[in-house]
Amino acid sequence: MKFLTAACLLCITSAVYAQTVWQPSAGHTQIPIWPGAIPDARPSNRPETVKSTGAQDYVAGKPWLSVEQVAIPTLTVYPAQGKNTGAAVIVFPGGGYEILAIDLEGSEVCDWLAPIGVTCILLKYRVPAPRSAPNWGAYPQSPIALEDAQRTISLVRSRAAEWHIDPHKIGVLGFSAGGHLAVAVSVHFDKRLYAAVDGADQESCRPDFAVALYPGHLSRREGTLALNPDIASRISAQTPPTFLLQNENDSVDTIWDSVSYYAALLKAKVPVEFHSYAEGGHAFGLRKTKYPATAWTQLVETWLHSIGAIAD
């Protein structure tokens, strides 16, 4: 069957709710991205949990929520408000492929995008196991998050008319590990990591643009411009226009990840905009601090205008 019936979707959604803990704000509903069996499923040995950070981890004086043990991926649509630009952004929260910073680097992004007329899709991708588990982490060590990203882009494109989206203006935005995921799906789009499961998978999984904020897992070796082979070997003229932002004193040294990817995009003549700041650290999301990098939302909005994703 090409598309799910409403009754079938309701059954699947009910099953997801029975096994997930995090819920979006009132008026928004998360839906499963897979219609049946999940490819490369890795059931967690513990249920999904949501935790609020302690005072030592506050960002801009406020706590943030981490979602852990995510074994069932979902998306949540935040419709464009006011004048709809037709653009959509799929958001990948960071968390080292171990947790998801679901509000700091997730729902708070949608709270910014929707009011400027951009439909925001928050992806709760799979992070079902701790760092010590076998096959933990980023692609190619683990395929599951990239499978979820590929599927979500195609699913959103297949429902573009329903969600009032221009199918040619669907981008991705991610932080840290989510920034890596935005890059990975920007270069791994010509071949899916999973067998097509329904009609949605007939749609392209290539994003039309990408935003990667303090991305990780890209550089082969700190202090060089060498990219990891699974990224470097797949950059081409079809890699989407990209926006990068980074602080040079990043506590997890992702400066080399951003710089190496920036250099590779320049070499391939892929349109890229890169903003680098001396200070500001890592994992600040959209929360304003004294550091200039935290004003990045205006930079991205201007860039979206410059590439034609949103119009004046």
Calculate the CA dihedral of residues 99, 101, 106, 111 and round it to 10 degrees. Answer: 160
CB 177 within 8 Å of CB 96? yes
Cα 90 from Cα 164, distance rounded (Å): 15
Low-confidence ranges of the chain (pLDDT < 50): 1-18
Looking at residue 260, its pLDDT comes to 95
Taking each helix axis as running N to C, give the angle between helix 177-187 and helix 144-158, from 0 to 180 degrees, rounded to the nearest 10.
Answer: 60
CA angle 26, 98, 189 (to 5 degrees): 85
**Helical H runs in the chain?**
6-19, 108-113, 144-158, 177-187, 229-232, 255-267, 296-306
**Helix, strand, or coil here: 175?**
strand
Looking at residue 204, its pLDDT comes to 98
Looking at residue 136, its pLDDT comes to 86
Cα 308 from Cα 169, distance rounded (Å): 9
Looking at residue 44, its pLDDT comes to 76
CB 121 within 8 Å of CB 82? no
pTM, 2 dp: 0.92
Looking at residue 20, its pLDDT comes to 65
Cα 99 from Cα 21, distance rounded (Å): 14
Query: Structural domains in the chain?
Result: 6-306 (3.40.50.1820)
